[in-house]
Amino acid sequence: MHPIDLSVIALYLLVTLGIGLYFARRSKGGEEYFVASRQVSTMHTALSVVATDVGGGFSIGLGGLAFTLGLSASWMLLSGLLAAWLSAVVLIPRVKPLGDRLGWLTYPDYLEYRYDRRVRLTAACMAALGHMGFVGAQLLAGAKLSSALFSIDLGTSLALIAGVAVLYTALGGMKAVVYTDVVQWLIILVGLCGLALPFALLRVGGLEGLRQSLPPGHLRLDQVSWPRFSLWMLTIVPSWLVANTFYQRIYAARDLQSAKRAWYIAGLFEYPVIAFTAAGLGLCARALFPDVEAETALPRLIHSVLPVGAMGLVLAAYFSAIMSTADSCLLAAVSLFVHDLYGGLSKRPLSPRATVVFSQIVGVVVGAVSVAFALILPRVLDIMLDAYAFMVSALVVPTLGGLLWPRARANAAFASMVVGGVAAGVLTYFRDIAPYGEAILLALPAALLTLIVGSLASKAEPFVAQESDSPQG
The predicted-structure confidence for 7-21, as pLDDT tens digits, reads as follows 998 898 888 888 888
pLDDT at 471 over 60: no
pLDDT on residue 431: 82
> Is the model's pLDDT at 473 over the cut of 50?
no
Which stretch of DSSP H or E encloses residue 469? Answer: none
Q: What is the CATH number of the domain that holds 172?
A: 1.20.1730.10
The answer to whether residues 322 and 59 touch, using CB atoms and an 8 Å cutoff, is yes
CB 395 within 8 A of CB 416: no
Average confidence (pLDDT) over 447-463: 91
Query: How confident is residue 379, by pLDDT bands cut at 50, 70 and 90?
Result: low
Residue 225 inside a domain? The answer is yes
Point out which residues pair with 253 in neighbouring strands.
Answer: 40
For all residues of the chain together, what is the average pLDDT? 89
Contacts with 367 (C-beta within 8 Å, 6 or more apart), sequence order: 135, 162, 165, 166, 170, 330
Across the range 125-130, mean pLDDT stands at 93
Distance CA 196, CA 194 (A): 7
Domain that includes residue 21, residue range: 3-379
- What's the pLDDT score for residue 380? 61
Work out the average pLDDT over 338-348. 92
Does residue 297 contact residue 146 with C-beta atoms inside 8 Å?
Answer: no
Residue 415: inside a domain: no
pLDDT given for residue 470 in this prediction:
43
CA 212 to chain centre: 35
Which of 106-110, 245-249, 386-390 is predicted with the least confidence, judged by mean pLDDT? Answer: 386-390
Q: Does 425 fall in a domain?
A: no
Q: pLDDT tens-digit profile of 404-416?
A: 999 999 999 999 9
Cα 143 from chain centre: 17
135: part of which helix (H) or strand (E)? helix 117-150
pLDDT tens readout for residues 169-180:
888 899 999 999
The answer to whether residue 462 is domain-embedded is no
Interval 359-381 mean pLDDT: 82
Asked whether residue 469 carries a pLDDT value surpassing 60, the answer given is: no
Say what the pLDDT of residue 466 is.
61
Higher-confidence residue of 451 and 468: namely 451
Q: From CA 171, how far away is CA 434, in angstroms rounded?
A: 42
Task: Decide if pLDDT at 432 tops 90.
Answer: no
Dihedral (Cα; 388, 99, 450, 392), 10-degree rounding: -10
Residue 389 within any structural domain of the chain:
no
Separation CA 286–CA 215 (nearest Å):
9
Query: For residues 239 and 388, is the Cβ–Cβ distance under 8 A?
Result: yes
What is the Cα–Cα distance from 50 to 324, expressed in whole angstroms? 9
* DSSP codes, 294-315: HHHHHHHHHHHHPPTTHHHHHH
Adjacent-strand bridge partners of 40: 253
| Least confident interval from 321-325, 391-395, 453-457 | 321-325
Q: Is residue 118 part of a domain?
A: yes
* Amino acid, res. 300: R
User: Which whole number is the average pLDDT over 292-316?
Assistant: 85
C-alpha span between 170 and 368 (Å, rounded): 12
* Short-list 407, 422, 421, CA closest to 454: 407
pLDDT at 57: 62
Instruction: Average the pLDDT over each of 90-99, 212-221, 270-279, 430-439 and give the range with the smallest value.
Output: 430-439
| In the predicted structure, residue 110 carries a pLDDT above the cut 90 | yes
Report pLDDT for 468.
46
| pTM for this predicted structure | 0.92
Can you give the pLDDT at residue 456? 95
Average pLDDT in the 207-235 region?
93
Q: How is 142-164 classified by DSSP, letter by letter?
A: HHHHHHHHH---HHHHHHHHHHH
Q: Is the pLDDT of residue 55 over 80?
A: no
Tell me the mean pLDDT in the region 271-280.
93
Confidence of residue 430 (pLDDT cuts 50, 70, 90): confident
In a domain, 242, yes or no: yes
Q: Is the pLDDT of residue 156 over 70?
A: yes
Is 419 within the bounds of a domain?
A: no
What pLDDT sits at residue 472?
38
Mutual angle of helices 154-188 and 244-252, in 10-degree steps: 40
Residue at 280: amino acid letter: G
471 cis-preceded (ω within 30 degrees of 0) = no
pLDDT of residue 140: 81
Domain count, the chain: 1
